[in-house]
């Protein structure tokens, strides 16, 4: 065991957990005042529900010894059985020669499993029933998240081992996964009352900026912690994360200034998050130059992707598709352009580093697999829940606001 690595991984785990309240505020500020607590709660509850699903069965399905074909982990770690506080000698299911205990990897990965379904909540905002959401994320974390984490991040997962596509911190597992699920969920759920007819505005952008800041801060654990060690690769991931976030935020603000004459706070925050998303899969494979290009591309392309929902007419309330799906695809593909095998021997060189299109092709296949699996399974899950328990709040509850209707609370009371 390496105590320095272990200390960094425990710290990173706390940083990644901190992103979920950050996401809650990021989203909470963007909805109307009557739905603010409903939005916060859909994120916070993930910290409860997914903690349980992960320790019982999610971790073993994702990181248990492979049952064959790189498709799923077995039940060896069911209920955290044999998940040890020391490095097991046989290194069963341990990741790429880790120098930290299995239990630390388990808890670090738990934080990713928590925030990924929470990301979907931005799409279904202001209309999904809380009870349906609880059941949805419990099942989704087991059926959709855990298998994909196995394919991409387990040493024997087929996307990592056979396809040789790489994803440093979650371009496919977290962002494409959540983005594709968001799209499927809103197609089943339908648009909010008044979508495209009424003015539906963010009610408290300072909360959104606070949340964006918390996300940015926590993202250093997300990306840099994905080195699983306190080493040079972690340092690289830390630095390119900062570069991509800053460049993408500034790029987005610049586009707004050119197109609308004024840069916005929401625009800068959205751009920064888009940059963080796009650098996520690449942060352990690209250097500063790649990070600058990824940041610019994320700022431009995710901004343009905002129009998709209006063109295709689906109500992705807080743009999970434009930011996480599009940003995740972008970052995953950019690995195929800017990957540097000298930085990290787990990848082949990208197109611009003399490696040809081979790695780009692998990345593209991984993107398609991740999108297709998440979209199809999420759509089926959402349909089943819609038919059995109902996904949507009643029309009256939606008009009244989810805070009072579903939680019997208000964000902002009149006096005292």
Partner 1 sequence: MKLIVAYINPFKLDEIRDALKNAGVSGLSVSNIQGFGRQAGHTETYRGAEYEVDFVPKVRIEVLADDTLAPTIISTIETTARTGSIGDGKIAVLAVEDVIRIRTGERGRDAL
Output 274 or 292, the one with its CB closest to partner 1: 274
**Number of residues counted as binding partner 1 (CB under 8 A):** 16
Find the shortest distance in angstroms from Cβ 260 to partner 1: 5
Residue where the block lists tokens 């081979």: 358
Applying CB under 8 A, among 66, 102, 256, 398 the residue interacting with partner 1 is: 256
Is there binding between residue 257 and partner 1 (CB under 8 A)?
no
Cα distance between residue 282 and residue 293, in whole Å: 12
Q: Give the nearest distance from C-beta 205 to partner 1 in angstroms.
A: 9
Question: Under the criterion CB under 8 A, does residue 404 sit at the interface with partner 1?
Answer: no
- Interacting residue with partner 1 among 74, 191, 202, 213 (CB under 8 A): 202
Closer CB to partner 1, residue 256 or residue 349? 256
Tell me how many degrees the CA angle 228-233-236 measures, rounded to the nearest 5.
125
Q: Is 197 in the site for partner 1 (CB under 8 A)?
A: no
Shortest distance in whole angstroms from residue 408 CB to partner 1: 27
CA dihedral 248, 254, 259, 260 (to 10 degrees): 110
Query: Which one among 2, 11, 84, 264 touches partner 1, defined by CB under 8 A?
Result: 264
Which residue intervals of 225-314 are DSSP H helices? 232-260, 265-279, 288-305, 308-312
> Can you tell me the distance from the alpha carbon of 34 to that of 201, in angstroms, rounded to the nearest whole number?
12
Judged by beta carbon, residue 98 or residue 274, the one nearer partner 1 is 274
Least Cα distance to 315 among 172, 197, 177 occurs for 197
Among 177, 223, 270, 378, binds partner 1 (CB under 8 A): 270
Stretch of residues binding partner 1 (CB under 8 A), selected from 300-308, 328-336, 341-349, 389-397: 300-308
Candidates 28, 25, 119, 35; CA nearest to 328 is 119
Q: What are the φ/ψ torsions at residue 155 (nearest 5 degrees)?
A: -60, -30
Burial bucket for residue 394 (CB in 10 Å: 0-12, 13-18, 19+): exposed
Cα–Cα distance between 198 and 191 in angstroms, integer? 12
- We find the least distance from the C-beta atom of residue 304 to partner 1, in angstroms, to be 9
Using the contact rule CB under 8 A, the part of the chain among 121-129, 301-309, 329-337, 339-347 near partner 1 is 301-309
Three-state SS at 73:
strand
Applying the rule CB under 8 A, the residues between 303 and 332 that interact with partner 1 are 303, 306-307, 310, 319
Q: Which two tokens stand for residue 168?
A: 């440093």
Count the Cβ atoms, other than its own, within 10 Å of residue 139.
17
266 binds partner 1 (CB under 8 A): yes
Is the Cβ of residue 9 or residue 200 nearer to partner 1 in the bound state? 200
- List the one residue from 86, 89, 199, 345 that touches partner 1 (CB under 8 A): 199
Q: Kindly state whether residue 260 participates in binding partner 1, applying the rule CB under 8 A.
A: yes
Tell me how far apart the alpha carbons of residues 176 and 186 are, in angstroms, rounded to a whole number: 15
**Residues contributing to the site for partner 1 (CB under 8 A):** 199, 201-202, 256, 259-260, 262, 264, 266-267, 270, 303, 306-307, 310, 319
């Amino acid at each position: 065991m390496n105590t320095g690595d272990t200390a960094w991984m425990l710290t990173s785990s706390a940083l990644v957990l901190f992103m979920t309240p950050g996401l809650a505020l990021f989203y909470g500020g963007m909805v109307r005042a009557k739905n603010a607590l409903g939005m916060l709660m859909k994120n916070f509850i993930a910290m409860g529900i997914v903690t349980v699903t992960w320790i019982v069965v999610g971790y073993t399905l994702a990181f248990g010894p492979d049952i064959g074909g790189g498709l799923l982990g077995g039940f060896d770690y069911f209920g955290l059985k044999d998940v040890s506080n020391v490095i097991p000698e046989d290194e069963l299911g341990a990741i790429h020669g880790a120098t930290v205990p299995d239990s630390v990897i388990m808890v670090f990965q738990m934080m990713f499993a928590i925030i990924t379904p929470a990301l979907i909540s931005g799409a279904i905002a202001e209309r999904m029933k809380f009870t349906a959401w609880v059941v949805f994320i419990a099942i989704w974390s087991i059926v959709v998240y855990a298998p994909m984490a196995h394919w991409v991040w387990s040493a024997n997962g087929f996307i990592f081992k056979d396809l040789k596509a790489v994803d440093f911190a979650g371009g496919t597992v977290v962002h494409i996964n959540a983005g594709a699920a968001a799209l499927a969920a809103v197609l089943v759920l339908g648009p909010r009352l008044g979508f495209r007819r009424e003015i539906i505005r963010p009610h408290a952008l300072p909360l959104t900026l606070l949340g964006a800041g918390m996300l940015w801060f926590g993202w250093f654990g997300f990306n840099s912690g994905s080195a699983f060690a306190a080493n040079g690769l972690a340092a690289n991931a830390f630095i390119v994360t900062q570069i991509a976030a800053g460049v993408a935020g500034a790029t987005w603000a610049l586009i707004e200034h050119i197109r609308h004459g004024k840069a916005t706070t929401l625009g800068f925050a959205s751009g920064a998050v888009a940059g963080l998303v796009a650098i996520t899969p690449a942060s352990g494979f690209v250097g500063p130059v790649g990070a600058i290009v990824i940041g610019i591309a994320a700022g431009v392309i995710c901004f343009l992707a905002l129009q998709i929902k209006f063109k295709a007419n689906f109500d992705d309330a807080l743009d999970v598709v434009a930011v996480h799906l599009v940003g995740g695809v972008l970052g995953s593909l950019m690995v195929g352009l800017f990957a540097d095998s000298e930085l990290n021997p787990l990848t082949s060189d990208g197109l611009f580093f003399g490696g040809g299109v081979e790695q780009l092709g692998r990345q593209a296949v991984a993107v398609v697999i991740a999108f297709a699996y998440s979209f199809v399974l999420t759509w089926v899950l959402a349909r089943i829940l819609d038919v059995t328990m109902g996904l949507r709040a009643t029309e009256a509850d939606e008009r009244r606001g989810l805070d009072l209707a579903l939680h019997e609370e208000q964000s902002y009371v009149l006096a005292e």
